[in-house]
Structure 1
Amino acid sequence: MVQAIDTTEKLVTIQVDDRNVEYDYADLNEVALAWSISIHKSQGSEYPVVIMPVSMSHYIMLSRNLIYTGLTRAKQLAIIVGSTKAIGIAVNQWNQKQRYTRLVERLG
């Protein structure tokens, strides 16, 4: 939670657990609002608890690998919230599309 913003010193004080941490404006890119972080942005990170909404409103994004990535971000607890239909579509969606990245040529 943001505790203070000092526009003169260009510092933001954020409460993390039971302590306050000061961030320089230039370092604010190190802060991610947990309630708004996407699965794509969370890749490579872990969180104590992950609550993952799965809905039909963006059905084109429903895929098994997206569910896997979201669930594996949780260190202690993962909660999926959504319709059974949306979860079923995501779990049964196996993306076998060939990707044309030209990675081999770029590495060579």
Structure 2
Amino acid sequence: PMYKGDAGATNLNLRLQQAINPDGARFHETRFRVGDKVMQLRNNYEKMVFNGDLGYVVGYDPDEDKLIVKYDYEVAYDRFELDEITLAYAITVHKSQGSEFKCVVMPMITQHYIMLHRNLLYTAVTRAREMVILVGTRRALALAVRNVKVDRRLSSLADRLRHIT
């Protein structure tokens, strides 16, 4: 559920890229290879791609020196825009919200105990259309199931709504 550590999204993405797409042609000296699954990290209205959009690197344009990603349509990124995308073989539960996947594999380890909440487990499990695979320890799963504490969101929305009515 987090980025850091052995079971974090960053490490899992690098290992999965090596296992799934070891021979994909690299775009210059970047981490991206033709065939990689990637995710857009923030809204880009000019390119009409949005935070959480998933696509695949389909090639690069040597004349324009741009990486080409296929979403619903192709989007070109120059090397200064590559911080807008990241590898997406493994994504966090938070980034998965609003998406569905045929199969979800979720690490359940106490290294990320701070993120072991029932609501996050529920969110992860409900992203799967057909199959969920939990990898880890029973202890971590038990911690997540028992932890129903929901962090309060600190916003002034309730106060603002009271002033409207």
The interval holding the TM-score normalised by the smaller chain is 0.7 to 0.9
Q: Of 37, 45, 51, which aligns to 2:91?
A: 37
1:9-68 Cα deviation digits (max 9, x unpaired): 324155x9xxxx633228985x76432311011111111111111101111111100100
Q: Does 1:74 align with 2:104?
A: no
Higher strand content, 1 or 2: 1
Q: Look up the match of 1:62.
A: 116
Q: CA deviation at 1:3?
A: 4.2
Write the letter of the residue equivalent to 2:63.
Answer: T
Structure 1 length as normaliser, TM-score?
Answer: 0.74
SS at match of 1:66: helix
Q: Of 17, 25, 37, which aligns to 2:77?
A: 25
Q: CA deviation at 1:74?
A: 0.9
> Could you say which structure has the greater relative contact order, defined with CA pairs below 8 angstroms and 6 or more residues apart?
1
Across the two proteins, how many residue pairs are aligned to each other? Answer: 102
Write the letter of the residue equivalent to 2:77.
Answer: Y
Checking the alignment, whether the CA contact within 8 Å between 1:11 and 1:22 is kept in structure 2 is no
SS at match of 1:36: coil
Higher helix content, 1 or 2: 1
Q: Does 1:106 align with 2:165?
A: no
Structure 2 length as normaliser, TM-score?
Answer: 0.51
Q: Of 56, 65, 68, which aligns to 1:12?
A: 68
State the alpha-carbon separation in 2 of the partners of residues 91 and 80 from structure 1.
13
Worse-matched range after superposition: 60-69 or 2-11: 2-11
State the alpha-carbon separation in 2 of the partners of residues 80 and 98 from structure 1.
27
Which segments of structure 1 move beyond 4 Å, counting only runs of 4 or more?
A: 26-29
